[in-house]
Amino acid sequence: MNKILLIATTLLNFAAQAQQQVADKIYVNAKIWTGDDTNKWAKTIALKNNTIIYVGNDYKSYTGNKTIVTDLEGRLLIPGFIDNHTHFLAGGFQLVSIDLRQVKSKKAFIQTFKKYVQGLDEKRWITGGDWDHEAWGGDLPKKEWIDAVSGNHPVFVNRYDGHMALANSVALRLAGIDKNTSNPPGGEIVKDPATGEPTGVLRDEAMNLVNNVIPEPSAKEMEEAFLRAQQHALSLGVTQVHDMSSFGGWPDMNTYQRAYADDQLQMRVYSFVALATWQKLADYVTQNGRGDDMLRWGGLKGFVDGSLGSTTAWFYKPYLDAPNSTGLQVTDTTLLHDWVIAADKAGLQVATHAIGDRANDFILNVYKEANTTNGTRDRRFRIEHAQHLTQEAITRFGVEKVIPSMQPYHAIDDGKWAAKRLDDTRLRGTYAFNSLLKDDARLTFGTDWTVAPLNPLLGIYAAVTRRTLDNKNPNGWYPQEKITVEQAMKCYTANNAYAGFQENKLGILKAGMLADFAVLDKNIFSIDAEQIRNTKVVLTVVNGKEVYKAKQ
């Protein structure tokens, strides 16, 4: 009797195991770059529920009567892109806001406003913009450019880096800004040197003088912005974003939580909140945990300085074109230091924006102190942008296990005009992708959307070619910092999974990992590098579900 029972039990176990290995979906006839160095290329991937159960070449043993088999006709299949740094909800709003990114002249700036204003509700604020004054020679815009065409609309439109914005007279009046208003700490109200009147341009913390009087978007508007942004991301093969917030973090996170509860979250989100609110986050994590594989929190974002384009990044030496300035410390450095130490002690992940060489050195030193003060643990400190580094700083990232969270598209954009700001010595440490990888840094990539386009393939193109957008550097801007397609892909997938504490679940394609991947219409590993930026996504899968499919 015991033998019969044993045999029956064994047969049931075998049957259960066999059933577990029958895939729900199998994608065949693909060229799969897995990101897994032990099994780099394959032809087939099999899924059960939300998990990969097989990556290889012979898939027949995984098929069953209900298995859906999809022929990918030789297309490239890759791990889903993870974007290390977005302002995701701002992106959702920007998709329906005024777009000044392509404007190349004062005349076009004014005409774009004139056309956009037609038919708008007179009470509506006009925001967004993403203008770049370098595109028309470097002169900053003025409120007079738009006062005559913006009517009664208050206007506050950002430079594309988010560290400078233009207000019209209506917005300045609502904010109480006039010739007698002093610069706030960490910011600047640009004034006409002859009259002392505000020009309308505000830098960094001065922007909050206007931001504080702009009505908060409603919950419905936030949710609509998220859905627009999500649809856009999925069409680009982006299966997860690390969101550095658009509204201080908490409204953003609440929006994602509502979307998840309403079964509208189709991609993964790691939601960061403002570093200044570290105690609130620590308490929230204690009470609610850190979320799950679809929606997580527990990260904080702080600022050291501003940006290169706004001449507010913090350097040791003055700017070439602003010899009286070395930039700004956006956050009081004593406060920033104390917040980082306290947040780290509470077990939270800290990410800090640093652009200039002095800003990067400052935060590296604070991180080192936190490690000494709070003891050794797997903390994964991040520096967002890590843009301009001294040679000594480059070596520190790998040694001190700090993650450089970089956005390669900025290199081919800023590279058009960066030489007017900085000398060659400083530029040699700019977007130092190859040097960081050689020194064993865990380099990660993203976009900083809306500062740059959300498309990760443009970022890979930028990292591989470093050809500036003005076509003046065909062999690459500081070409010694170019990297390979495979290196760039790892920065956009496995390394980003590590930066979000998910390397055991995401970032590579192998059995046991969550099923996030994208299918491209071109093989970016074999085509000419110039064609990478023209490559399209034809299919996006998140958690085993097809969430985007290109129209045939």
Q: Could you give the count of Cα atoms lying within 13 Å of 139 in the half-sphere of its Cβ?
A: 11
Judged against a pLDDT cut of 70, whether residue 1 lies above it is answered with no
- Binned at pLDDT 50, 70 and 90, residue 456 comes out as very high
Please name the residues in contact with 79: beta carbons below 8 A apart, sequence gap of 6 or more. Answer: 33, 34, 35, 489, 493, 494, 506, 507, 508, 509, 516, 517, 518
Cα 405 → chain centroid? 9
DSSP run (H or E) holding 351 = strand 349-354
117, 151 in Cβ contact below 8 A? Answer: yes
What pLDDT is stored for residue 9 in this prediction?
47
What pLDDT is stored for residue 206 in this prediction?
93
If one counts every other C-beta atom within 10 angstroms of the C-beta of residue 235, the result is 17
Tokens 């949710």: give the residue: 223
SS3 content of the chain, % helix, strand, coil (to 5): 35, 20, 40
> What does pTM read for this prediction?
0.88
Highest mean pLDDT among 88-102, 135-149, 155-169, 218-232: 218-232
What pLDDT is stored for residue 4 in this prediction?
56
What pLDDT is stored for residue 416 in this prediction?
95
Judged against a pLDDT cut of 80, whether residue 330 lies above it is answered with yes
Judged against a pLDDT cut of 80, whether residue 6 lies above it is answered with no
- Binned at pLDDT 50, 70 and 90, residue 14 comes out as very low
DSSP string, 31-44: EEE-S-TTS-EESE
Q: What digits encode the pLDDT tens for the residues 352-393? A: 999 999 999 999 999 999 999 999 999 999 999 999 999 999
Report CA-CA distances (Å) from 480 to 407, 432, 457, 526. 17, 9, 21, 21
Q: Give me 344's structure tokens.
A: 């780290």
What pLDDT is stored for residue 411 in this prediction?
98
246, 89 in Cβ contact below 8 A? Answer: yes
Question: Could you tell me how many helices (H) and strands (E) the chain has, helices first?
Answer: 18, 24
DSSP tag of 243: E
How are beta strands 44-48 and 51-56 bridged, if at all? antiparallel
pLDDT over 90 for what percent of the chain? 82
What pLDDT is stored for residue 3 in this prediction?
55
Judged against a pLDDT cut of 50, whether residue 480 lies above it is answered with yes
Backbone angles phi, psi at 210, to 5 degrees: -90, -40
Q: Considering only 25-34, 164-173, 292-301, which range has the smallest mean pLDDT?
A: 164-173
Judged against a pLDDT cut of 80, whether residue 5 lies above it is answered with no
Judged against a pLDDT cut of 80, whether residue 286 lies above it is answered with yes
Bridge partners, 188 (sequence order) = 203
Q: What is the mean pLDDT of the chain?
A: 93
What pLDDT is stored for residue 12 in this prediction?
46
SS3 156: strand
199, 133 in Cβ contact below 8 A? Answer: no
Q: What digits encode the pLDDT tens for the residues 75-109? A: 999 999 999 999 999 999 989 888 898 899 999 99
What pLDDT is stored for residue 11 in this prediction?
46
Whole-angstrom distance, CA of residue 297 vs CA of residue 279:
14
* CA proximity to 167, closest of 141, 149, 187: 141
Q: Which residues of 276-289 are buried (b: 16+ CB within 10 A; e: fewer)?
A: bbbeebbebbeeee
Tokens 């088999």: give the residue: 69
Instruction: Provide Rg for the chain, Cα atoms.
Output: 25
Domain 83-87+218-504 has what CATH class?
Answer: alpha beta
- In CATH, what is the architecture of 88-211? Roll (3.10)
Q: Which residues of 203-213 are buried (b: 16+ CB within 10 A; e: fewer)?
A: bbbbbebbeeb
Q: Give me 186's structure tokens.
A: 């960490």
Whole-angstrom distance, CA of residue 117 vs CA of residue 513:
49
DSSP tag of 209: H
What pLDDT is stored for residue 115 in this prediction?
86
DSSP run (H or E) holding 499 = helix 494-499
DSSP tag of 161: T
Three-state SS across 155-189?
A: EEEEECCCCEEEECHHHHHHHCCCCCCCCCCCEEE
Whole-angstrom distance, CA of residue 302 vs CA of residue 242:
14
210, 431 in Cβ contact below 8 A? Answer: no
Q: Give me 531's structure tokens.
A: 């064609």
Q: Considering only 129-138, 291-300, 326-335, 424-433, which range has the smallest mean pLDDT?
A: 129-138
| Domain boundaries of the chain, sorted by first residue | 83-87+218-504, 88-211
Whole-angstrom distance, CA of residue 151 vs CA of residue 309:
29
Judged against a pLDDT cut of 50, whether residue 13 lies above it is answered with no
Bridge partners, 76 (sequence order) = 31, 520
Tokens 């065409």: give the residue: 149
How are beta strands 128-131 and 156-159 bridged, if at all? parallel
Whole-angstrom distance, CA of residue 315 vs CA of residue 329:
10
* CA proximity to 187, closest of 286, 57, 303, 298: 303
Whole-angstrom distance, CA of residue 252 vs CA of residue 229:
13
Q: Give me 165's structure tokens.
A: 């914005």
Q: What is the dihedral of CA 8, 13, 17, 18, to 10 degrees?
A: 0
Please state at what angle helix 250-261 crosses helix 219-235, rounded to 10 degrees. Answer: 80
Q: What digits encode the pLDDT tens for the residues 58-79? A: 999 999 999 999 999 999 999 9
Whole-angstrom distance, CA of residue 446 vs CA of residue 389:
18
